[in-house]
């Protein structure tokens, strides 16, 4: 007789699967990497800083899967092509691609630099699209109708609703990535590839360090989260394992908020404001 542990292990197991996580060495990327390796996957992590990837891999040596570090700069076309070539030459199968690499830039509206806009769009939108395109043959060959390969794009709550931080290009880039996700889900469905996105709220990471080190600013951010806290590694682990395992095989084209209720609270607040004006 199967136990509950047997059942949960079977639907969330990634044993025998191969994954690539861009930006997988730190922050949310490391949360994702840790979850996939813990579930038994072989995970390649790519980042500009090889030392950070190597350090992350060393932290995961006692888990069921395997973590393999690789240096890659996805801010250029050659960097994307180089990473895709490396994976194609190294692996016969690729079951999971997590497009997590990204960056942000904040500046006042009047001072926001042209180059910052271009750089953010290149890394946050162009690179995930191009890397997915380059790896589609390998992903397609690894997927089946019952167990498709998975692409997971890491978006942001800021790509779903406007928030107070002056990160104009970052917010626009994440909104674009959400839309690319929906487009590609239709494009790749017949090739046995699902494409979904996660839109996280505040989690501890390099991008949130600017307010995490300021107690007053952190408190202000948390007050905007209906659940009253920042995200935790286990919050991300549960969702990424669902999307990448057999339990998520029938889901594609979704942009899933993982924000403690921020996006729905924002929408509700706007609706309440409109209602008050109409009274």
Euclidean distance between CA atoms 164 and 157, whole angstroms: 12
Burial state string for 144-174 with b = 16 or more CB within 10 A and e = fewer than 16: eeeebbbbbbbbbbbbbbebeeebbbbbbbb
Query: Is residue 199 a contact partner of residue 258, using CB atoms and an 8 Å limit?
Result: yes
Euclidean distance between CA atoms 279 and 270, whole angstroms: 15
Q: Which residues contact 233 (CB under 8 A, 6 or more apart)?
A: 31, 34, 35
What distances in angstroms separate CA 188 from CA 19, 60, 184, 193, 278, one per listed residue?
Answer: 18, 32, 6, 5, 45
Euclidean distance between CA atoms 211 and 223, whole angstroms: 13
And the tokens for 245?
């395992």
Write out the catalytic residue numbers: 170
Query: Is residue 124 a contact partner of residue 170, using CB atoms and an 8 Å limit?
Result: yes
């Amino acid at each position: 007789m199967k136990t509950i542990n047997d059942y949960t292990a079977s639907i969330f197991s990634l044993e025998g699967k191969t994954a690539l996580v861009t930006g997988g060495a730190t922050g949310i990327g490391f949360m994702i990497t840790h979850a996939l390796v813990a579930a038994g996957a072989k995970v390649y992590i790519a980042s500009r800083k090889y030392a950070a990837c190597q350090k992350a891999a060393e932290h995961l040596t006692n888990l069921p899967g395997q973590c393999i570090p690789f240096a890659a700069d996805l801010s250029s076309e050659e960097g994307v092509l180089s990473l895709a070539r490396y994976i194609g030459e190294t692996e016969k199968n690729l079951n999971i691609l997590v497009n997590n690499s990204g960056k942000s830039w904040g500046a006042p509206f009047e001072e926001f630099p042209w180059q910052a806009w271009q750089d953010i769009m290149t890394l946050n939108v162009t690179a995930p699209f191009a890397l997915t395109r380059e790896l589609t043959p390998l992903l397609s060959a690894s997927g089946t109708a019952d167990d498709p390969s998975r692409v997971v794009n890491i978006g942001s709550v800021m790509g779903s609703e406007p928030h107070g931080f002056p990160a104009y290009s970052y917010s626009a880039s994440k909104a674009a990535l959400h839309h690319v996700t929906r487009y590609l889900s239709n494009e790749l469905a017949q090739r046995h590839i699902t494409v979904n996105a996660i839109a996280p709220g505040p989690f501890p990471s390099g991008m949130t360090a600017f307010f995490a080190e300021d107690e007053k600013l952190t408190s202000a951010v948390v007050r905007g989260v209906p659940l009253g806290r920042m995200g935790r590694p286990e919050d991300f682990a549960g969702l990424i394992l669902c999307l990448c395992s057999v339990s998520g095989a029938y889901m594609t084209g979704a942009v899933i908020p993982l924000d403690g209720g921020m996006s729905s609270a924002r929408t509700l607040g706007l609706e309440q404001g409109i209602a008050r004006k109409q009274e």
